[in-house]
């Protein structure tokens, strides 16, 4: 037995050694890459010498010694960057702006921590194919002003960068089309691609992004197509599309309330300027000249700078100053609008008199008598406004791509003699014209048939078809539709039945497997069912938990553990119900959340399921652990690890009533870091991105060592794969709700960052987020804090009175105050990510709880400066001398502790 135990412990120590050596060699890799980087410079920056890159100018490392930032702006650096730069796996920021670096750009692939890349203003000569692959944390990318790059395209792999905020690549020789991947970037603010050779049109996914600044001007070959997508970009503030080949009309921009700068000059845009443009409340600057705009000259409010080309004929407006067009011009522009304002019309339809050389128009005595659009390939509809041209005799629109129906209003044209709409894609009933009118409708496959609105007649042939095909009975169409609907219903029923049978089988197996009291939720959170038997495992009351597994617990176990939910065991109450303290047979203390039956509506059941689903997927030392759950009739119970010191709110606000000591600044710092690490893990270090939505002091629990864990995951939202935001109903607690969430219901990880900032303010002041007992100017903590953030005297006078800091302590408090203000910025894009909060707080906590020199220099008896053979030899010697030590005579049944890593490594594993 003893021999077996020694063998086991040897294995444990071997694993520890391997881990340590792995960490050591990762650090060595960083040093080697940095040495290669320094070697590649023709003129290395001052201070770039020695074997410790973390001390070099412009280089920043984390507390574990990994390189996280290289910032060398305008240092007149020349030379090449090393190809292995992406081996700096902890790198977060890379900035070589405005230098003279040349040669191929190194791949940045799979630098999953990389957030900022600034390479603009250099002379790089090539872009690797995997340049932007796997950059899952990338927020800012800038590569503009690199004039020596060969043509390259924006890769589809950029879609990996779902947190992207800014993509700047002006004058970077980008070619090809803009990929349709912008639905992956809900946080994108700036897209600047001016002065390149991009072709094609605007991708529809622009509408799914949050783009505010869009610069696409001055493409060599010219972007083309319509600009309709602008109307769906509600957050856009600045649009530069000038010097391209865009065509078609300006869309309705009434939803773009923040647009202040619109540059559309030097394109091929047509149509009437929509009234929504001149009505935009924030508009300041518009350029429209050198297009083919028609209709009246737009009138903008005073203060808006406008260049519209009306005075020098650089558009096709009907007049040279604001004012209505002539009646016939207005009618013909409505006709053109139904055809999406073709360029062929805009090029010749100038001035305020259609009888003066307007193409396709013939007049008689000053009135339009003939419209001949025959064989022009125009798409669109026949405008009912044509009926207002009362002198019209001939309307020829044959051989185009017209859809819709023939307007019945045309029958009111008393002088009409010829109507030719043959060879289009028209449908619907043919109106009854006067006997003397020649009506030609052949070559329209669905003429005479009322099509559903969703039917795409444009797919039909526009050529002549035989009479039999043209006379398809409406009943045939109806039968086809009915059969299709029946088939869909039957197929849906079959799929539902198969899914339901499988789900019932899965729940039955789950319930059956729970007879031993250990039903695992790790693989399938859907197994939580209101039909789950309450008798599971009732014969086995000797209950215990396994790490990493949530189990179904019999109600009898929880009744006995809580003394049948006695009042003496109550820990707290909330809207969900009551939390009880309990103790199992093996001495394990637990907290049991018993949800009220009135809470078991759809919302309550959803939160119950969400809590189990989230805590069954995530495990972290700073997240409260879910031991299990119980379903008993209409009752729902959740079982957590017990946190004996209660909530952070109790220690901040009501410590005197509880008869406890106030929190020291050291404890507050440690709690803040614990919370930051827990939320950072939820946001991006787990397999999915989780958004807590209800972060507040009452949801932060403390252990006897005053270390914190985040709790209460009933409102957590799981962001879809590859995204960091989701639309949801409003939930949470006032005082901690981010303003954009309260206003729009769109929740992102920055909602949690805001709440964390409020908690930091509470840690500093000892005040509540909302407190009616305070004077009005201090009642809302965030509002007051913003006003005094930059006034040290105000902050000092408003500290929690129990702190009484000395000068050194106040410096630490001031840094946390700055972080709190940063986290609660009004604009969510200006708030940091939680990883930044961890990086700010970690060195402050280290300052108060420094590791010993022995820890820094030695790990498990191994000097980190040793070579690998020396380390193995030292470990072997230690192993031989320690086999008879007291450590190996421990007779406890479980080996549950492992040696501590040195403090400079701990953040890599937290």
pLDDT tens per residue across span 443-454: 998 898 877 665
740: confidence class by pLDDT, cuts 50, 70, 90: confident
Q: Is residue 865 in some structural domain?
A: no
584: confidence class by pLDDT, cuts 50, 70, 90: confident
Nearest by Cα to 243 from 271, 270, 224 = 224
Q: What pLDDT score does 484 carry?
A: 66
Across 590-613, average pLDDT = 69
> Could you tell me if 834 and 776 lie in one domain?
yes
Indicate if the pLDDT at residue 488 is higher than 70: no
Contact between 315 and 291 under an 8 Å Cβ cutoff? The reply is yes
Weakest mean pLDDT among 114-128, 490-504, 861-875: 861-875
Across 534-550, average pLDDT = 43
List, by residue number, the catalytic residues. Answer: 694
The residue range of the domain holding 409 is: 333-472
Weakest mean pLDDT among 292-296, 370-374, 721-725: 721-725
> Could you tell me if 141 and 15 lie in one domain?
yes
157: confidence class by pLDDT, cuts 50, 70, 90: very high
| DSSP single-letter state for residue 901 | P
Q: Is residue 570 in some structural domain?
A: yes
Indicate if the pLDDT at residue 25 is higher than 80: no
> Could you tell me if 606 and 659 lie in one domain?
no
> Could you tell me if 445 and 545 lie in one domain?
no
Q: Would you report the helix, strand and coil content of the chain in percent, each value rounded to 5?
A: 35, 20, 50
Contact between 812 and 841 under an 8 Å Cβ cutoff? The reply is no
Q: Is residue 225 in some structural domain?
A: yes
Tracing tokens 């995204």 back to the chain, one arrives at 723
Q: What pLDDT score does 224 carry?
A: 96
Contact between 700 and 710 under an 8 Å Cβ cutoff? The reply is yes
Across 65-89, average pLDDT = 92
> Could you tell me if 661 and 771 lie in one domain?
yes
Q: What pLDDT score does 60 carry?
A: 92
Across 823-846, average pLDDT = 88
Indicate if the pLDDT at residue 589 is higher than 50: yes
Q: What pLDDT score does 16 carry?
A: 53
Compute the distance between CA of residue 818 and CA of residue 505 in angstroms, rounded to an integer. 55
> Could you tell me if 416 and 554 lie in one domain?
no
Q: Which two tokens stand for residue 77?
A: 């650096």
Q: Is residue 209 in some structural domain?
A: yes
> What Rg do the C-alpha atoms of the chain give, in angstroms?
36
Q: Is residue 92 in some structural domain?
A: yes
Q: What pLDDT score does 785 carry?
A: 87
> Could you tell me if 101 and 239 lie in one domain?
yes
% of residues, the chain, pLDDT over 70: 74
> Could you tell me if 696 and 807 lie in one domain?
yes
Indicate if the pLDDT at residue 481 is higher than 60: yes
Q: What pLDDT score does 588 carry?
A: 87
Q: Which among 794, 825, 848 is the end of a domain?
A: 848
Of the two residues 455 and 202, the one the predictor is more confident about is 202
Across 131-145, average pLDDT = 94
> Could you tell me if 757 and 816 lie in one domain?
yes
> Could you tell me if 674 and 620 lie in one domain?
no
Compute the distance between CA of residue 87 and CA of residue 102 in angstroms, rounded to an integer. 20
| DSSP single-letter state for residue 863 | E
Give CA separation, 846 vs 91, 184, 836, 840, 909, in Å: 22, 38, 16, 11, 16
Q: How many domains does the chain fold into?
A: 4
Q: What pLDDT score does 525 carry?
A: 35
Nearest by Cα to 591 from 603, 604, 582 = 582
Looking at the DSSP bridge assignments, the partners of residue 446 are 427
| DSSP single-letter state for residue 681 | I
Contact between 503 and 525 under an 8 Å Cβ cutoff? The reply is no
What average pLDDT does the structure give for the chain?
A: 79
Q: Is residue 903 in some structural domain?
A: no
| DSSP single-letter state for residue 654 | S
CA 906 to chain centre: 29
> Are β-strands 551-552 and 292-295 bridged in parallel, bridged antiparallel, or unpaired?
unpaired
Indicate if the pLDDT at residue 176 is higher than 50: yes
659: confidence class by pLDDT, cuts 50, 70, 90: confident
Q: What pLDDT score does 469 carry?
A: 36
Across 639-653, average pLDDT = 90
CA 339 to chain centre: 38
Q: Is residue 257 in some structural domain?
A: yes
Indicate if the pLDDT at residue 69 is higher than 60: yes
pLDDT in tens, 614-624: 666 677 889 98
132: confidence class by pLDDT, cuts 50, 70, 90: very high
Indicate if the pLDDT at residue 684 is higher than 70: yes
% of residues, the chain, pLDDT over 90: 50
> Are β-strands 635-641 and 708-710 bridged in parallel, bridged antiparallel, or unpaired?
unpaired
Q: Which among 641, 656, 675 is the end of a domain?
A: 641
The residues near 549 (Cβ < 8 Å, ≥ 6 apart) are 518, 520, 521, 522
CA 637 to chain centre: 33
| Helices 749-765 & 781-788 angle (0-180, nearest 10) | 70
Q: What pLDDT score does 47 carry?
A: 84
Q: What pLDDT score does 11 carry?
A: 55
Q: Which among 803, 823, 848 is the end of a domain?
A: 848
Q: 332-360 burial string, b = 16+ CB within 10 Å, else e?
A: bbbbbbbbbbbebbbeebbbbebbeebeb
The C-alpha angle with vertex 510 and arms to 506 and 512, in degrees rounded to 5, equals 115
Compute the distance between CA of residue 550 and CA of residue 542 in angstroms, rounded to an integer. 17
| Helices 807-823 & 834-848 angle (0-180, nearest 10) | 170
pTM of the complete model: 0.52
CATH number, domain containing residue 364: 3.80.10.10
Weakest mean pLDDT among 106-110, 208-212, 608-612, 689-693: 608-612
Q: Is residue 480 in some structural domain?
A: no
> Could you tell me if 63 and 90 lie in one domain?
yes
Across 719-739, average pLDDT = 62
């Amino acid at each position: 037995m003893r021999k077996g135990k020694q063998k086991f412990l040897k294995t444990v120590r071997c694993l520890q050694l391997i881990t340590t050596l792995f960490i050591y060699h990762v650090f060595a890799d960083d040093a080697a890459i940095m040495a290669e980087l320094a070697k590649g410079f023709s003129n290395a920056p001052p201070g770039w010498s020695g074997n410790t890159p973390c001390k070099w100018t412009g280089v920043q490392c984390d507390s574990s010694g990994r390189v996280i930032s290289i910032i060398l702006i305008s240092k007149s650096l020349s030379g090449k960057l090393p190809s292995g730069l992406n081996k700096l796996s902890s790198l977060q920021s890379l900035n070589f702006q405005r230098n003279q670096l040349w040669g191929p750009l190194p791949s940045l692939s799979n630098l999953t921590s990389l957030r900022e890349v600034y390479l603009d203003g250099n002379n790089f000569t090539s872009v690797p194919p995997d340049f932007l692959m796997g950059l899952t944390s990338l927020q800012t990318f800038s590569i503009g002003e690199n004039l020596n790059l060969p043509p390259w395209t924006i890769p589809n792999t950029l879609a990996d960068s779902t947190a992207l905020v800014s993509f700047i690549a002006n004058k970077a020789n980008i070619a090809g089309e803009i990929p349709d991947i912008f639905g992956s970037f809900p946080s994108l603010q700036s897209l600047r691609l001016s002065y390149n050779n991009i072709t094609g049109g605007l991708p529809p996914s622009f509408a799914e992004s949050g783009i505010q600044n869009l610069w696409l001007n001055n493409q060599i070959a010219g972007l083309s197509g319509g600009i309709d997508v602008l109307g769906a970009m509600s957050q856009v503030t600045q649009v530069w599309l000038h010097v391209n080949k865009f065509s078609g009309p300006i869309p309705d921009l009434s939803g773009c309330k923040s647009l202040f700068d619109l540059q559309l000059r030097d394109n091929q845009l047509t149509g009437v300027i929509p009234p929504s443009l001149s009505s935009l409340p924030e508009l300041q600057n518009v350029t429209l000249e050198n297009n083919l705009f028609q209709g009246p000259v737009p009138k903008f409010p005073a203060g808006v700078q406008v260049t519209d080309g009306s005075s020098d004929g650089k558009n096709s407006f009907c007049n040279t100053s604001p004012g209505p067009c002539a009646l016939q011009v207005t009618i013909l522009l409505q006709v053109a609008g139904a055809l999406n304002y073709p360029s062929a019309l805009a090029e010749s339809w100038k001035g305020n008199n259609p009888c003066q050389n307007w193409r396709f128009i013939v007049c008689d005595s000053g009135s339009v008598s003939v419209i001949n659009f025959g064989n022009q390939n125009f798409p669109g509809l026949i405008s009912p406004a044509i009926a207002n041209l009362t002198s019209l005799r001939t309307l020829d629109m044959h051989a185009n791509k017209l859809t819709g129906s023939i307007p019945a209003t045309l029958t009111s044209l008393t002088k009409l003699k010829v109507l030719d709409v043959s060879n289009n894609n028209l449908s619907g009933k043919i109106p009854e014209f006067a006997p003397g009118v020649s009506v030609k409708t052949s070559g329209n496959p669905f003429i005479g048939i009322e099509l559903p609105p969703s039917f795409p007649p444009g797919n039909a042939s526009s050529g002549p078809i035989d009479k039999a095909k043209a006379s398809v009975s409406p009943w045939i169409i109806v039968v086809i539709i009915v059969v299709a609907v029946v088939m869909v219903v039957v197929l849906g029923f079959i799929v539902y039945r198969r899914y339901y049978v499988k789900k019932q089988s899965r729940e039955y197996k789950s319930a059956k497997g729970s007879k031993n009291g250990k039903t695992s939720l790790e693989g399938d959170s859907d197994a939580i069912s209101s039909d789950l038997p309450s008798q599971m495992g009732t014969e086995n009351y000797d209950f215990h938990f396994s790490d990493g597994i949530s189990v179904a617990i019999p109600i009898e176990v929880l009744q006995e553990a809580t003394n049948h939910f006695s009042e003496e065991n109550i820990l707290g109450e909330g809207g969900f119900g009551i939390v009880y303290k309990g103790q199992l047979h093996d001495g394990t203390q637990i907290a049991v959340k018993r949800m009220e039956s009135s809470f078991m509506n759809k919302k309550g059941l959803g939160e119950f399921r969400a809590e189990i689903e989230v805590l069954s997927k995530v495990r972290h030392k700073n997240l409260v652990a879910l031991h299990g759950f119980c379903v008993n009739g209409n009752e729902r119970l959740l079982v957590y690890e017990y946190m004996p010191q209660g909530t952070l709110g109790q220690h901040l606000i009501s410590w005197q009533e509880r008869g406890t000591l106030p929190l020291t600044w050291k404890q507050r710092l440690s709690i803040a870091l614990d919370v930051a690490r827990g939320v950072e893990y939820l946001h991006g270090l787990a397999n999915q991105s989780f958004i807590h939505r209800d972060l507040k002091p009452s949801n932060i629990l403390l252990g006897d060592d005053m270390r914190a864990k985040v709790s209460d995951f009933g409102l957590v939202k799981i962001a879809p794969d590859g995204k960091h935001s989701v639309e949801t109903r409003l939930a949470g607690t006032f005082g901690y709700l981010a303003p954009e969430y309260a206003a729009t219901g769109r929740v992102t990880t920055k909602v949690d960052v805001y709440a964390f900032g409020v908690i930091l303010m509470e840690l500093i002041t000892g005040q509540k987020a909302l407190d009616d007992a305070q004077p009005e100017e201090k009642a809302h903590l965030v509002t007051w804090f913003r006003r005094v953030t930059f006034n040290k005297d105000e902050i000092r006078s408003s500290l929690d009175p129990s702190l009484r800091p000395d000068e050194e302590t106040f410096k630490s408090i001031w840094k946390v105050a700055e972080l709190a203000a940063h986290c609660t910025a009004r604009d969510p894009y200006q708030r940091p990510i939680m990883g930044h909060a961890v990086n700010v707080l970690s060195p402050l906590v280290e300052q108060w709880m420094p590791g010993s020199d022995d820890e820094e220099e030695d790990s498990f008896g191994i000097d980190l400066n040793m070579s690998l053979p020396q380390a193995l030899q030292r470990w072997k010697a230690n192993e031989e001398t320690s086999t008879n030590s007291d450590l190996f005579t421990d007779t406890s049944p479980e080996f549950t502790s492992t040696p501590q890593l040195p403090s400079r490594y701990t953040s890599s594993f937290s």
